[in-house]
A and B are shown apart, each in its own frame.
Chain A
């Protein structure tokens, strides 16, 4: 597993969120939105990885290198390798300064690295890559990246790879996001309420059920994470849609349930229009106890019962 032993000396409370996030390798999706941005958390994760001795590569497409390195001290900055695709990602300047091949080439080159030791690759951002590359190509590259240690035919021991991808949720439809989500071992969805940021973490460990966790946090200026208590429950304006609604079957004035005797009586009842063999026999041979109806007719003096002409309208 990831050598995060160097970080154990810190107070457990502050680092437990980052520890749990960095404990799993593979692909981690950081899903952010316009209101709750994810780059600070990405930088906090990068700082943690760099401090524990890992090599960190950053594919920077959205912000300049100065802006990204801002806030890190020099010992962290020395461990960061920044691949700059901010200045000229599409090679418009044609001066040859831009890295040839674009971001995809850089990604595939990272797949083929052979130096041992754990490495963290940060993609800033996956949204930029998803808008400019076909989704299938990107997914294949990500899969190859995060499963490097299971490469067949490669005898050199390659260390564990962790890929951190920043994804802006509003920019993509459910298809590409679902595809990336299925590749990810960890998903962190950023949100918040009333000025406090929250991270909903979904971990998929192999052969275990996925676990959900929510942390309320705040990122300090030096990019360490400060865990906080969530906002007080009664002031939360919206109910969590996953909680069950109030049980409305308590405190009723009528009976919704049947007792055992009542259930048996109900089950043994035959329905009026159900045609069973008993009913058939009863109809064919009316029993002595059956109530049948009789018609009593007393003919009047003026009644003329004529069997041949009962309605008396034939001219016979």
Chain B
């Protein structure tokens, strides 16, 4: 996790908020460093994490996680991390014996179905264990990334329904958190992606939006991060609802600074 980002969001692993949906979206840049941040953050906060990783392999996240100080292999063995590796398990859909529907069952269906098997998988993974003692703090669901489901033929409304059910179970019932990533293609013709992005924005409590710089690629400033807090618990006029920072990604850290205040420029 990146300590500077924690300061900006005003959270620490000991004092994480609960029951929140965080939306990560990126436009013209790669915002996946935020996924690594939240993954390591919640593992360090001793939360039970269910990670639906559709984009990259387990070893990719593990390598980056080790740079940030967490071991995914160890977390998986301990039972703290439930990892659905989309790339590997998509082949299992075809070779699995008939029984429980596979979480990625929608890949086999000719007509666009719903994501209920995937939701059941998440609910099963995060349901509290009945041994009486709460081993982990609060359950967390991470998804990387939701836009891929659109490419695989699922409709935007079906994905929104999946997120709705996850929110009802993880955020409301289990008082946990959710972090999802969606790419903003900026393409005016991709209506499904727009519906998904806007629908998720309306459901989220916190939106972290990374954008490439308008002037193009820069060696010292990799992009801009816009933080938008929505649905504060008490509507007040004075609360800072939106902040913008620029950032630079380094090997093991990401440094944030106010716009135009990059150390390379000053």
Interface pick from B26-34, B132-140, B229-237, B244-252: B229-237
Contacts of A87 in B (CB 8 A): 168, 172
Given contacts A64-B172, A171-B199, contact A92 B116 (CB under 8 A): yes
| Residue B161 is within 8 A (CB to CB) of chain A in the complex | yes
| Residue A144 is within 8 A (CB to CB) of chain B in the complex | no
Q: Contacting A221 at CB < 8 Å: which of B172, B194, B230, B235?
A: B235
Across the interface, do A221 and B165 meet the contact criterion of CB distance under 8 Å? no
| Residue A62 is within 8 A (CB to CB) of chain B in the complex | yes
Across the interface, do A40 and B116 meet the contact criterion of CB distance under 8 Å? no
Assembly CA distance A12 to B157 (angstroms): 44
Binary contact readout B199-223 vs A (1 if CB under 8 angstroms, 0 otherwise): 1011100010000000000000000
Contacts of B168 in A (CB 8 A): 64, 86-88
Across the interface, do B202 and A34 meet the contact criterion of CB distance under 8 Å? yes
Assembly CA distance A88 to B228 (angstroms): 29
Contacts of B228 in A (CB 8 A): 34-35
| Residue A104 is within 8 A (CB to CB) of chain B in the complex | no
| Residue A132 is within 8 A (CB to CB) of chain B in the complex | yes
| Residue A159 is within 8 A (CB to CB) of chain B in the complex | no
Contacts of B233 in A (CB 8 A): 70
Assembly CA distance A4 to B168 (angstroms): 37
Q: In this complex, what residue of A is CB-closest to B231?
A: A37
> B169 CB to closest chain A CB, in angstroms?
9
Contacts of B164 in A (CB 8 A): 89
Assembly CA distance A71 to B232 (angstroms): 12
Contacts of B172 in A (CB 8 A): 64, 66-67, 86-87
Interface of A is mostly: loop
Interface of B is mostly: helix
Across the interface, do A195 and B237 meet the contact criterion of CB distance under 8 Å? yes
> B13 CB to closest chain A CB, in angstroms?
25
Q: In this complex, what residue of B is CB-closest to A34?
A: B201
- Which of the four size classes fits the interface of chain A? 20 to 34
Q: In this complex, what residue of A is CB-closest to B200?
A: A34
Assembly CA distance A80 to B52 (angstroms): 38
> B149 CB to closest chain A CB, in angstroms?
16
Across the interface, do B203 and A92 meet the contact criterion of CB distance under 8 Å? no
Given contacts A92-B165, A131-B157, A221-B236, contact A62 B116 (CB under 8 A): no
Across the interface, do B231 and A221 meet the contact criterion of CB distance under 8 Å? no
Across the interface, do B198 and A131 meet the contact criterion of CB distance under 8 Å? no
Across the interface, do B198 and A170 meet the contact criterion of CB distance under 8 Å? yes
> A172 CB to closest chain B CB, in angstroms?
9
Contacts of A90 in B (CB 8 A): 114, 161, 165
User: Interface of A with B (CB < 8 Å)?
Assistant: 34-35, 37, 39-40, 62, 64, 66-67, 70-71, 86-90, 92, 127, 131-132, 168, 170-171, 195-196, 218-221
User: Interface of B with A (CB < 8 Å)?
Assistant: 114, 116, 119, 157, 160-161, 164-165, 168, 172, 194-195, 198-199, 201-203, 207, 228, 230-231, 233-237, 241
Q: Taking A37-B231, A70-B233 as given, write out 11 further A-B residue pairs in contact, using a Cβ cutoff of 8 Å, ordered by the A residue number.
A: A34-B198, A34-B228, A37-B202, A37-B230, A64-B172, A87-B168, A88-B168, A92-B165, A127-B199, A220-B235, A221-B236
Task: Write 28 A-B pairs (CB below 8 A) sorted by A numbering.
Answer: A34-B198, A34-B201, A34-B202, A34-B207, A35-B228, A37-B230, A37-B231, A40-B235, A62-B202, A64-B172, A66-B172, A87-B168, A87-B172, A90-B114, A90-B161, A90-B165, A92-B165, A131-B199, A132-B157, A168-B198, A168-B199, A170-B194, A171-B199, A171-B202, A195-B241, A219-B235, A221-B235, A221-B236
